[in-house]
Amino acid sequence: MERIQQQFLPLIELPQDANTLTLKQQQAILHKHEPFLRLTVTSHPVGIKGRDWFETEFSETLHAYAESLEAKLPFSTPVWHKTFNAILFSSLVAMRVVFNRVPRLSLDNIYISVADDHRIDKVEILDSTPCFSLDDCGEKMASQEALDDKLVETILALSASLSDKFKKHKVNPRVFWGNILYACNISFSKLANQPLDEKTHLIDETVVSQWQHNLYNKVLPKGGELNEIKKVTFNGFQKIYTRRETCCLKYKLDGKNKCATCNLHDEETQQLLMLDKLKKAIEQTGS
């Protein structure tokens, strides 16, 4: 993890006392850096407690979402799941990487709000949520590896009991876990959200990919094989992205033949798509 942090922390504008800030302040820094990292940290949540929501609102919401899209559950449910994962897990991994902090979360202390379109609007956690950390700002862990283990425990606490619920709504376990671990990996491309000059910010994607492989194998047998961190380069600039080995089926709802991120593209084709994105980003930034 230290090697990963050496590569990613310089990309973010951090105050000197970053690790002593409150959970809310730290999440605000992440959101300012990249609005995609949008977990809400608050003292006054307005949503329904996660465990209650999944017991009372989940099934009705998924059917309403499918009806609104005029789609079948096997196609709409994985896409709905992507939004939930993106809000929750991408921020949690970013917190762990940037601040060495893992909130002690379960379905009992997250709060869920749904928008009029039946998708997740907010996932909230309390600013007072206890955390695991490498310093005295939370329950102190002995090492980076021990903190990673707490991240694994948190991912499982938020997800393991939901696998059967999603299976009943036509999402098989491999797709379910693939969606979650993909959202975890998205953190890295969101932290490195601009074309990076190789002379000043060289990213070794193999280090990140090995970390996620080892970590996610603890979440799920062979979980580390569901995603891989990749990189493209052009004219001295680089972009990292995640190649996933499960499909969320969003392309079927969008009326496309294939998505840009999953294994329906061969690796070379996906690399060319990401290279095109990098070229456009370089043009937009004037680099």
pLDDT of residue 149: 98
Give the range among 77-86, 165-174, 184-193, 261-270 with minimum mean pLDDT: 261-270
Strand ranges, E, within 110-225 = 110-114, 120-126, 131-133, 139-140, 196-197
Average pLDDT, the chain: 93
Q: What is the crossing angle of helices 144-159 and 73-99, to 10°? A: 160
Closest to 26 (Cα-Cα) out of 133, 122, 153, 147: 133
Query: What are the backbone dihedrals phi and psi of residue 131, each rounded to the nearest 5 degrees, phi first?
Result: -130, 155
Give the range among 68-82, 191-205, 239-253, 270-284 with minimum mean pLDDT: 239-253
Q: Beta strand pairing status for 227-234 and 237-244?
A: antiparallel
CA 157 – CA 110 distance, rounded (Å): 11
Longest Cα–Cα distance in the chain: 53
- pLDDT, average across residues 80-97: 97
Identify the band that residue 99 occupies on the pLDDT scale cut at 50, 70 and 90. very high
Identify the band that residue 244 occupies on the pLDDT scale cut at 50, 70 and 90. confident
pLDDT of residue 252: 63
| Cβ-proximal residues to 202 (8 Å cutoff; 6+ apart), any chain | 7, 196, 238
pLDDT of residue 265: 75
The domain locations on the chain are 2-285
Instruction: Express each pLDDT in 248-281 by its tens digit.
Output: 666 666 666 666 666 667 888 889 989 999 999 9
Distances (CA, A) of 108 to 8, 243, 248: 32, 32, 27
pLDDT of residue 126: 98
Identify the band that residue 94 occupies on the pLDDT scale cut at 50, 70 and 90. very high
Give the range among 121-125, 181-185, 249-253 with minimum mean pLDDT: 249-253
pLDDT of residue 269: 87
Identify the band that residue 144 occupies on the pLDDT scale cut at 50, 70 and 90. very high
Q: Is 194 exposed, middle or buried (0-12, 13-18, 19+ CB in 10 A)?
A: middle
Distances (CA, A) of 95 to 49, 52, 131, 149: 22, 26, 11, 15
Q: Is 93 helix (H, G, I), strand (E, B) or coil?
A: helix
- pLDDT, average across residues 126-130: 97
pLDDT of residue 74: 86
End-to-end CA distance of the chain: 29
Query: Side by side, which strands form the sheet with 131-133?
Result: 101-103, 131-133, 139-140
- Percentage of the residues of the chain whose pLDDT score is greater than 70: 93
Q: Beta strand pairing status for 101-103 and 48-49?
A: unpaired
- pLDDT, average across residues 13-20: 92
Whether the pLDDT of residue 28 is over 90: the answer is yes
